[in-house]
Amino acid sequence: MKKNNPYEIEDILRMLPHRQPFALIDRVLEVYDPGGKSKAGRKVKALKNVTYNEPFFAGHFPNRPIMPGVLIIEAMAQAAAMACAREGDPKMDIVVARISEVRFHRPVVPGDQLITEAEVLKEREKFFFNRVRSTVDGELVTEFDILASVSFAKDQGTSA
């Protein structure tokens, strides 16, 4: 089941705990959910608009602004978290347990639109194994696998 109406920033802020300056997804463009109890096979495509006004560009680097790799990874991890969440799920805390096979293929610079695709490959109790890749203008930027541990908050309402 493909969801044609994307998640806007308000939806993302309801579903993820991150806030400015670490809310690194601007919009979820596509959601694919095969349905069923398991979230395996669930996919999202998320967008991060990279602008020169980002505070990290002042020091990384003054004469050649490049988005720090750790922030690219964080944006991708947030997209992976969105792949693990369904509207109506209890609020969840997602903690990165392991990131493996990280590869950077090109820098991300002001003006780029970082498109991240995340897919839940396996779900085992409180662990999710996702494959994540980011592109700019169709060119591969970064890719990795991420294992996340999830705990559900019982008294915080629902995520969406």
Q: Which residues are catalytically annotated? A: 60
Residue 28 CB: number of other CB atoms within 10 A? 24
CA–CA separation, 50 and 112 (whole Å) = 5
Q: Are 51 and 113 in contact, with CB atoms under 8 Å apart?
A: no
Structure tokens at 133: 């890749």
